[in-house]
């Protein structure tokens, strides 16, 4: 299978540099890397260009002009340019364990999407990573809070056993997910009517469920460490929850504004 890794970012080039170094160090490299950029400035372009010079795989910069928070559109734009048949999506502040993509590949199954964990780094560990990207030690379980430490160890055998049961304690979060590209096309990708922080990740996965695509969960594998930052503004959360509830109540499969606006096609047509 060909894996396209999509990294979503906006104007945090120091964090993105750390993340892309972790991408270049993967035991199973992506077949292509696409940076989904929601209107960052030139410094981010320089980070992506530097990664492209060092990488052994194609690196694309899917940039769009900044017009408020449009992460859904940025992701759809990136996926529309992907050639891989499997898409792993992470945020641009998630440091990836060396076996991150290998673990996602092992977890992939037909008619399933995969939810991975987010392990929050404390401010001190984040500062160390940002000061010396690629040169410092890897994050350790003690760099995160007590609640997340049980998940902060890579235990592949346990991960295989926990693929279903772990869904009870791993929330849906768009910072670490894997999808078959055809499944994303079937539901038209992320709903671009979301503007600002909200449950756009949950809404997508509800539509996948309506389409018969079930969840698998990566716990004790596919480790990804979240670089600390202040919480995003929540002023648009109410509008986002309304979209989510409409999707649930109407059992919607496809969003109106999604992948097809960027040349996406229905599954099997590309």
Structure tokens at 132: 């010396």
Give the pLDDT of residue 184: 98
pLDDT tens digits, one per residue of 148-179: 877 878 988 888 888 887 887 788 999 999 99
For range 205-228, the mean pLDDT: 95
Structure tokens at 176: 């670490």
Percentage of the chain lying above the pLDDT 90 cut: 72
Q: Domain-by-domain residue ranges, the chain?
A: 3-262
Architecture label for domain 3-262: Alpha-Beta Complex (3.90)
The overall longest dimension of the chain from CA atoms, in Å, is 50
* Sign of the four-CA dihedral 146, 151, 154, 158: positive
Give the pLDDT of residue 165: 77
Give the pLDDT of residue 55: 97
Give the pLDDT of residue 264: 59
Give the pLDDT of residue 266: 47
What does the mean pLDDT of the chain come to?
A: 91
* Sign of the four-CA dihedral 144, 147, 150, 152: negative
Q: Are 259 and 80 in contact (CB under 8 A)?
A: yes
- H or E segment to which residue 118 belongs: none
Q: Are 169 and 235 in contact (CB under 8 A)?
A: no
Give the pLDDT of residue 181: 97
pTM passes above 0.85: yes
Q: Are 205 and 248 in contact (CB under 8 A)?
A: no
């Amino acid at each position: 299978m060909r894996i396209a890794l999509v990294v979503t970012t906006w104007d945090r080039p120091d964090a993105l540099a750390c993340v892309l170094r972790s991408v270049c160090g993967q035991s199973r490299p992506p077949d292509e890397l696409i940076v989904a950029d929601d209107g960052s400035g030139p410094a981010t372009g320089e980070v992506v260009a530097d990664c492209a010079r060092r990488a052994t795989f194609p690196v694309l910069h899917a940039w769009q002009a900044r017009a408020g928070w449009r992460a859904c559109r940025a992701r759809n734009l990136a996926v529309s340019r992907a050639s891989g048949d499997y898409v792993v999506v992470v945020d641009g502040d998630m440091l990836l364990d060396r076996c991150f993509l290998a673990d996602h590949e092992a977890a992939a199954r037909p008619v399933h999407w995969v939810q991975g964990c987010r392990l929050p780094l404390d401010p001190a560990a984040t500062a160390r990573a940002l000061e010396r990207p690629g040169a410092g030690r890897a994050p350790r379980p003690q760099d995160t809070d007590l609640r997340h430490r049980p998940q902060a160890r890579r235990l592949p055998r346990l991960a295989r056993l926990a693929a279903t049961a772990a869904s009870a304690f791993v929330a849906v979060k768009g910072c670490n997910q894997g999808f078959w590209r055809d499944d994303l096309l079937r539901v038209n990708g992320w709903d671009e009517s979301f503007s600002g922080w909200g449950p756009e990740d949950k809404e997508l996965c509800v539509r996948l469920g309506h389409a018969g695509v079930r969840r698998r969960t990566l716990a004790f594998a596919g480790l990804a460490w979240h670089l600390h930052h202040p919480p995003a503004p929540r002023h648009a959360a109410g509008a986002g929850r309304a979209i989510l509830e409409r999707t649930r109540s109407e059992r919607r499969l496809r969003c109106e504004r999604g992948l097809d606006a960027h040349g996406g096609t229905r599954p099997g047509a590309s």
